[in-house]
């Protein structure tokens, strides 16, 4: 959906409320957005600093920061989030170092997911018009990673993508559209290269 500037400018909601609703908003406006991202990024740095000396305290802070965290979740810092409360992790999921999420789109990651190092999950889409883009107009779309998925190192997942259960995304891939369950995808853009289901 393209930006209708007149409608967007007439919208009296806060930029945060528009963001959460998935509508066009200006990420450079609204003090609540800057405050949230600054606070989240500060907490990410605190967790990294604590991790070696007091892992239980780092883990407790990690659980406070995120929207929901399942049992047995494990992670390796550093990691970088814009809005911690918009990220949800299922049971026994592992997040490797240099994990990054951008934007305020909701990200739901299921149980038993393996996230390789330097994985990037991008939820925002900027407006195409260059003048409006300079004004900070964007909208966010959710990302869903279902149970048992393995994301290889340096994978990029684009806004609005769902990765089906038990699928594998090869290292360095850029996922621009939904991935069905039980497949291996690889490349830029990522394409199905094989099925994981038994033949016959």
Q: Which of 26-35, 112-121, 153-162 has the lowest mean pLDDT?
A: 26-35
- Give the active site residue among 17, 126, 182, 187: 126
pLDDT, tens digit (0-9, with 9 covering 90-100), for 79-92? 999 999 999 999 99
Q: CA-CA distance, 180 to 162, in Å (whole number)? A: 8
Whether 126 is catalytic: yes
pLDDT, tens digit (0-9, with 9 covering 90-100), for 67-114? 999 999 999 999 999 999 999 999 999 999 999 999 999 999 999 999
173, pLDDT greater than 90? yes
Residue 103, Ramachandran bin (φ over 0: left; ψ between -120 and 50: alpha; else beta)? left
| DSSP 8-state class, residue 179 | B
Q: CA-CA distance, 46 to 17, in Å (whole number)? A: 28
At 54 the three-state DSSP class reads coil
pLDDT bucket at 200, cuts 50 / 70 / 90: low
CB atoms within 10 A of CB 135: 12
Rounded to two decimals, the pTM is 0.95
Please report, rounded to a whole number, the percentage of residues in the chain having pLDDT higher than 90.
91
Nearest to 41 by CA among 103, 83, 90, 97: 83
At 134 the three-state DSSP class reads helix
């Amino acid at each position: 959906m393209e930006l209708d500037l007149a409608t967007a400018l007439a919208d009296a909601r806060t930029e945060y409320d528009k963001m959460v609703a998935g509508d066009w908003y200006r990420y450079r406006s609204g003090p609540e957005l800057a405050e949230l991202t600054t606070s989240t990024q500060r907490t990410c740095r605190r967790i990294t600093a604590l991790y070696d000396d007091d892992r239980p305290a780092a883990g407790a802070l990690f659980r406070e920061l995120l929207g929901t965290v399942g049992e047995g979740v494990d992670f390796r810092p550093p990691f970088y989030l814009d809005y911690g409360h918009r990220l949800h992790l299922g049971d026994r999921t592992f997040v490797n170092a240099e994990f990054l999420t951008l934007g305020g789109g909701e990200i739901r990651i299921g149980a038993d997911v393996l996230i390789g190092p330097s994985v990037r999950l991008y939820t925002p889409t900027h407006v195409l018009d260059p003048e409006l883009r300079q004004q900070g107009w964007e909208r966010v779309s959710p990302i869903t990673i279902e149970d048992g998925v393995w994301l290889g190192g340096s994978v990029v997942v684009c806004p609005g993508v769902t990765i089906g259960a038990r699928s594998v995304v090869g290292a360095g891939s850029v996922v621009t559209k939904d991935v069905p369950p039980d497949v291996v995808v690889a490349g830029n853009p990522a394409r199905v290269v094989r099925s994981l289901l038994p033949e016959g």
